[in-house]
Amino acid sequence: MPRVALVMIARNEARCIARCLRSARPWVDEMIVLDTGSTDNTVALAQAEGAVVRHFKWVDDFAAARNAALALSTADWNLMLDADETLSEGGPLITALRDQAPDFIGRIDVCSSNQGTGQAAPQDASSWLPRVLPQGVRYAGRIHEQPASELPRRDLAVTVLHDGYMPEQMQAKGTRNRTLLEAAVAERPQDAYLHYQLGKDHEVHDRFNAAWLAYERALQLLGPQAQREPPWRHDLILRALYVLKATGRADQALDLAQTEMPNWPDSPDFYFVLGDVLLELASAHPEQAADILPMIENAWRQCLAIGENPALEGAVHGRGSHLAEHNLKLLLGTMALI
């Protein structure tokens, strides 16, 4: 009978590894953890949850580590999770893979919580990532590695919660990701995806000027022919608008938004961020506020007209509903006082 395995690499994940393994254990046939040099009790905790634990010397290459972990699995399907993730929804679909031919790569919704500077509460954003791999598929890439396979991708109604982008977790990771990303960019300077990921690392550490330079390079490499592809381009545009606003370049952000608007008629996130950009513009040019405020209102009303669209990469939960409603209420209250 076909089998399903959870496959994971981990290092110093005592905070969360038991939580992750418990969430997946009911839905898989075995759990494999490849430890890359833990100095805490990660190994003991994983073994206590029933995982098979093996060891691997870290070589500054995520694909090498993941491939070594995959080599330990003999299952037909491999579910790839990180220790700071939790399988939240769709467990039965993982088990049901036993009845499906391993002829596709499954993408699942990895919902990441993040709390940036000045945010009162965490926001949850979706990324559709290829995490369900047939036996034999391997990874390529030093960091933000991807399956090296031409098999078709299929979206699965599986949700994983991820808290590794919260400030305390990012602080614990230090400069590791940045160092690996800069090395990867040096090796593949024409890879737009790597520049995008480097920009994200700068952004989550509040290095907004550096983030914009990386995002700008990613947009240049994608070229003017790109519209909605690749899927992560949606998130790239949202992040580029945000860091332009954060660095006091709302006018440049508005130019980018006007160019991109035809590409995202179904994106509440685009109109939500557009409203933020316009609000920054009104603050910078108070003499124009009377003209700009109705535009902000229209942008946030458009969010509600579209509704939630979590299928788009980087979609933040609530921008098509309660977050837009909250902003509108505050805005209309302000406009009533003018």
Residue 220 shares a structural domain with residue 103? no
Residue 177 shares a structural domain with residue 161? no
Instruction: Supply the CATH number for residue 303's domain.
Output: 1.25.40.10
Residue 82 shares a structural domain with residue 220? no
- What average pLDDT values come out for the chain (338 residues) when binned by 10 residues? 96 98 98 98 98 97 98 98 98 97 97 71 89 98 95 97 80 80 96 97 94 98 85 97 97 96 97 98 93 97 97 96 96 75
Phi-psi region of 21 (alpha: psi -120 to 50; beta: other; left: phi over 0): alpha
Residue 161 shares a structural domain with residue 182? no
Whether the Cβ atoms of residue 32 and residue 52 lie closer than 8 Å to each other: yes
pLDDT tens digits, 108-140: 999 999 766 556 567 899 999 999 999 999 999
> What separation, in Å, do the N-terminal and C-terminal C-alpha atoms of the chain show?
70
Which token pair is 61? 């290459």
Whether the Cβ atoms of residue 95 and residue 33 lie closer than 8 Å to each other: no
Phi-psi region of 206 (alpha: psi -120 to 50; beta: other; left: phi over 0): left
Residue 319 shares a structural domain with residue 202? yes
Counted domains in the chain: 2
pLDDT tens digits, 246-291: 999 999 999 999 999 999 999 999 999 999 999 999 999 999 999 9
How far from the centroid of its chain's Cα atoms is residue 20's Cα? 18
pLDDT score of 175: 80
Among residues 152, 167, 182, the one where a domain terminates is 167
Q: Is 46 exposed, middle or buried (0-12, 13-18, 19+ CB in 10 A)?
A: buried
Residue 262 shares a structural domain with residue 118? no
Q: What is the DSSP letter of 163?
A: -
Residue 153 shares a structural domain with residue 187? no
Residue 163 shares a structural domain with residue 177? no
- Domain containing 30 equals 4-167
- CA–CA gap between residue 321 and residue 157 (Å, rounded): 21
pLDDT score of 176: 84
